[in-house]
Structures are given as C-alpha cells and as structure tokens.
Amino acid sequence: MIYGLESIVGDLSLEAEVIDAIVLVLNWKNSGWNAIVSVLNWRDGVLNSKIVALNSNNGVLILKVAAYNSKL
C-alpha cells in the first residue's frame, strides 16, 4: 500500500462507484517521485476516468486532479 493512496481514492468520491481498474504509475526523476493514479470505470458505453498526478521535486509536492467522461 502506498502511503496516502486510500485518502486520494476517498477524496475522489468513489465510494458509490464500481471500480473496473486502478492504474498506478511511479517513477523517480530529477531527485523526486512522480506518481499518477488513474481510476477507471465503464458504464453504459461511457468510460469514466479520474486521474490524480503527484509530483515531488526538491521537496515541493504538486497535486493535480482531473476527471473526464468519454462516450464511445
């Protein structure tokens, strides 16, 4: 378990949703950790994605959150 992942997923209000996939990408670059968490679900021909990107570079933590729906 990655520290803080539970709170990230909870903050995205996923309690009532059925999660089809959680994708986690971690890498070490320029003396800092980068993490991208993507939570995906598929309902009625619509792909829903919630993405959290964390960047820790030189002691600065940057958090970006995006959500989108894609009707296929």
Number of domains in the chain: 1
Q: pLDDT of the chain along its 72 residues, tens only?
A: 344 444 444 455 544 556 777 788 888 777 777 888 888 888 777 888 888 777 776 666 677 777 767 765
pTM of the model: 0.50
pLDDT at 5: 47
Q: Which two tokens stand for residue 35?
A: 């993490």
Provide the terminal-to-terminal Cα distance of the chain, rounded to the nearest Å.
33
Residue 26 belongs to domain with CATH number: 2.20.25.110
pLDDT at 34: 80
Q: What is the residue range of 20's domain? A: 5-71
Angstrom distance (rounded) from CA 58 to CA 34: 12
Locus of tokens 């539970």:
6
**Residue 45 to residues 16, 51, 66, 69, 70: CA-CA distances in angstroms?**
19, 19, 20, 10, 9
